[in-house]
Structure 1
Amino acid sequence: MPIAVYMLALAVFAQGTSEFMLAGLVPDIAADMSVSVPAAGNLTSAFAAGMIAGAPLMAILSLRWSRRRALLVFLVTFLLVHVLGALTTSYAVLLTTRVVGALANAGFLAVALATASALVPAGARGKATSALLGGVTIACVAGVPAGALLGQHWGWRSAFWAVAAVSVPAVVAVFRSVPSGPAPSASTNARRELRALRDPGLLVTLLLGALVNGATFCAFTYLAPLLTSVAGIREAWVPAMLALFGVGSFLGVTLGGRFADTRPVRLVVVGGLALLAGWALFAVSAGSGVAAVVLVPVQATLSFAVGSTLIARAMYAAGSAPTLAGGFATAAFNVGGALGPWLGGLTIGAGLGFRSPLWVSAGLVATALAVVAVTPFDRRARERRTRSEATAP
């Protein structure tokens, strides 16, 4: 694997840490900024909205630049808004930095996915995608807990400074390791990539990604209250359980990297069936702490194995539109990341308890499997079907 892919993963690690670290910093931010806890929580929602809207928009904007220039512009912007966020005393400015940071994050990830795919042979895009997404999973395992620890000892601003500090070597590494190339013709390139996005297989793959990621984050968002209120696990052990989830997610993208290039359909179907069974089993056995200890890492592994494979398939399905495919894949997965927790919150609000998000996760995976059954997302399967229909008497 080219060293540039791992350097891109370093930047993705910093960005993943920034995206998720606010979960442990909201109370401190609310107190320091003299705003309510829900208002501080809106900083997370603002970041998610920026990721959804920004991914395709920033991907289109980046078509005017070489990939190295686009990566550096987005990464330096991301770094600077975290410095500003660490310095500001204004909630409005902090909210703005979260939106701008999300736009830069979305643009960087879209271009990084295309760059990683271009740096490896055509049949190794799945491995490159998994290596890149490994930065997100390592952020879950190490970056987010470290951010919370910094916040506890030195205040929430120290976590922002840490993200900016990690971004500095990433800027240098991207500058030195990513090849420079001429900027494509923006209008011609944009038209070509937009035409490629009409591919039905790509659209189905993006839908599957949104559903699977929605299931993952529906369960993950409400994991802490499920563990303490239903499974009977002491609150002091919740960080360890979240770390188990992070370890599982890392194993999942590693597994996806091994099979996304050679057996993607089998991984998605078999992994999806196992994922569905696992969420249902978790819902039924949620009162057992032992079951939770086993199923948390297992479900994380399956979720990220299937999810990373779907991102790789999106890059394959839109081979002539890699940048916009990366942008729309980023947007689709963030749509799922917003939709899943919202649906889980509705069921909890309806009085169905903390087990109910697990059933929602099972339902979302079941929907994804139904989509796979009625609309094959694999290009070769569609081509075989077309040839068979053409030769039928």
Structure 2
Amino acid sequence: MIKRFVYLLSALIAVASCSDMADRPEYHYNDAEYINFGAPELTVESRAPEEALPSGVKKGSTLLSEIAPNTSFGVIGYCRAKYPGTNNETDNSSGNSPWSSKVDNVFPEIFLNQEVKFDGNVCTYSYGSSGAPRKWLSNTDAGGIETSDFKYTFFSYYPFDRFDIENPTSLASRGAPRIKYSMPFNSNDQNAILEQATIPDVMLDAKYNFMRYDGKVAFNYSHVLTALSFTVNNYSGIPGEGGLVGGQRLVVKKIELKGKFWRTVKVDFSSSIVGLDFPDDETYQGTFVIYDNPAGMEIPYNDVNFKPAFADQYILLISGKHVEGGMSYLGDVKVRIEYEFDGTPDYYEVGRPGTFVPTPGTMYQAQLNFVGDAFVLQFVDANNEVWGDGSDTDITFE
């Protein structure tokens, strides 16, 4: 099964919007003549605070609501198409055509894996050896055809160095981009400790049928990965006169997520419904430790205001797919919690509930609820914890 995402986003995303480069006297390239990129207006929002964490709480992945200063993103850009078949000549008249009508024969004449740097204020890049940005196509470039109504399409990926470009590989490559992202792990040992803090928040966006007088190209990014945090609630009770007696002491010693995980997600922009695919043979194994402290953390009884420190630490994962007889969403994984209940050590280990189907770009919380005298695991949507904010991107996850 292939996950899908379609044109016109209205979902949780991270924003990169326009700022006026004219404020920088050394950056004097007119938007009507040069292709310029917008810069973020707000600061980075982190869901993995830099302050010291309580003993035993493992630092999570950093979740971004904006691209970070002093980083860079990549761009692939198109305008005209080649004639169909073996004819390798450029069809200048295709410049006015919308993306959907020329996608099979477009070639990356505008940008091929172009790095754009963001310094915290503006986005800058140098096209080729010119030292300047790339110009929009001129009438001369198009054999005398009027180019003011040419329609350009741009695809962006962030961070720049975290994606592999499978297509295009050269200026001669035809068709829409196919790119992939792989997690920074390749362990085959389920007991290997994996550091969730090393997982980047990777993002994508596309701008279809953009025209030169639309101004700067501003990307509103969509998160590729799924974010998962953990919490523990104490609704304990033991048999007593008149039913269960509540308020028993619950102390958490260790929480882990372990097993086999999806390693790679492939993105194909070649149709109006853009697909995510997850290769079955690209996985990694290991253990993410969420909390580990022999002294333990006491979970107060039925306290709706209590929030364990590890609940704010997220793990970024590939959402994956369901394979009959094989891996499923998130992978072949289990949650394990070691604890003491009323002074007695015990543990609970359970797989992903079959009703839980995660999607990219969504935050979830795994709730380990101690009900009566046993744990129950449930996953809930945690997007009230705002990850990204915006609605001006051209892709969304379905």
Which has a greater percent of strand? 2
TM-score of the pair, normalised by structure 2 = 0.23
Larger Rg belongs to = 2
TM-score of the pair, normalised by structure 1 = 0.23
